Amino acid sequence: MDKRQENLLKAIVETYVKTIKPVGSKALCQKFHCSSATIRNEMAVLESLGYIEKNHISSGRVPSELGYKYYVDNLMEPEKLTGSDMLKLQTIVKNHDLVLSDAINKCMEIISDLTNYASIVLGNKASDNHLKQVSVIPIEDGKIVALVVSDKGIVENKQFTLPDNTDIKELIKTSEIINKMLIGTPINEVAKRLELEIKPVIANQIREYEAVYNIFYNAFNDFAADNHSDFTTHGRVKILEQPEYSDSESIKKIAYKLDDEKFMKHTIEKDSDDINIYIGEDSDVDNNTTVIKRKYDINGQTGTIAIIGPKRMEYARVMSLLDYALEEIKKKDGK
């Protein structure tokens, strides 16, 4: 493929992505300052090479799967994000109330909204988190907040109403015992160790030890339950609104696969590369679908983020959004 043919393919891909209409020679003549006949001849070459194909309802041409792959590998250029796009992501990243995992999830939710594609976060689960600290904070008479912090930066807080005759000092003392004995324990194992190791200790030191024990037991159970799944999806409905999935059979097929956590995890994790773009058949989702994935490692918290959309995807914009989000989150966490 020569340079003019590459430029022509790039124009066809980017025009089709924006208009969702097959691209004809007339639309390209002015851009390339060529006659319609010259453009048609070059398009015939691209078609013979398998990079574009005829649409059955139009005389124009659309990129083939091979054409999209060539575009992504050789022709795609980084897209400069708009100020509005950057501001929306910065608003999330600069929210100091959000821990790292929440910031990543919120950013992917924003990217899903900006692109109208589905997004997935595959991160740490409860068994990957270890206890860093547990604290008790009095908030008003008879009420406290139990705060559980993991080594991955995940924070869980739960409000409790204290049973009658429960002294806040006994809760604080119990939290100190837990911090001394259980730091470094996987979160999903803490409740078990509370019963076997902590309960016998506080039974000799805390007057209302059963009530105190139940508060911490419930707090750790809630943390483990909330972080049991390391798989979060945003925008499943958005991708189904794309014109590629207008018939009921396509909608059912895509919806079923997006809901299949085991399948989607396999799709996203099947290669160890930091960046992968699976187009069409390679996506395993649908022949008309693309999956873009990026791995991350921020302050020891690892995972994968992914965007799922039609093969007719705004590839450059999606890559720029993912790059920008991860760069800003790394800055937030001091990297």
Q: How far apart are CA 107 and CA 242, in angstroms?
A: 22
- Name the E strands within the chain: 52-54, 61-63, 118-122, 131-140, 143-150, 155-161, 231-234, 275-279, 289-298, 301-310
Per-residue pLDDT of the chain (335 residues; tens, 9 = 90+): 899 999 999 999 999 999 999 999 888 998 898 898 999 999 999 999 999 998 776 678 999 999 999 999 999 998 999 999 999 999 998 888 787 888 899 999 999 999 999 999 987 655 577 899 999 988 877 888 888 888 877 777 788 888 888 888 899 999 999 999 999 998 888 888 999 999 999 999 888 888 889 888 888 887 776 655 578 899 988 888 898 888 888 888 888 888 888 898 888 888 878 889 999 999 999 899 999 999 998 876 788 999 999 999 999 999 999 999 999 998 876 54
- From 226, 250, 268, the end of a domain falls on 226
Shared-domain flag, residues 327 and 236 = yes
Q: How far apart are CA 220 and CA 202, in angstroms?
A: 17
- Into how many domains does the chain fold? 3
Residues of the domain holding 61: 3-75
Shared-domain flag, residues 57 and 91 = no
Shared-domain flag, residues 281 and 319 = yes
Shared-domain flag, residues 185 and 171 = yes
Shared-domain flag, residues 299 and 160 = no
Domain of 113, CATH number, reads: 3.30.450.40
Shared-domain flag, residues 153 and 89 = no
Shared-domain flag, residues 235 and 328 = yes
Shared-domain flag, residues 159 and 101 = no
pLDDT for res 335 = 47
**Tokens, residue 146:** 């139990």
pLDDT for res 231 = 82
Shared-domain flag, residues 68 and 204 = no
**Tokens, residue 118:** 């589905």
pLDDT for res 87 = 95
Q: What is the pTM of this model?
A: 0.73
pLDDT for res 262 = 87
Shared-domain flag, residues 93 and 9 = no
- From 226, 251, 271, the end of a domain falls on 226
**Tokens, residue 107:** 């950013």
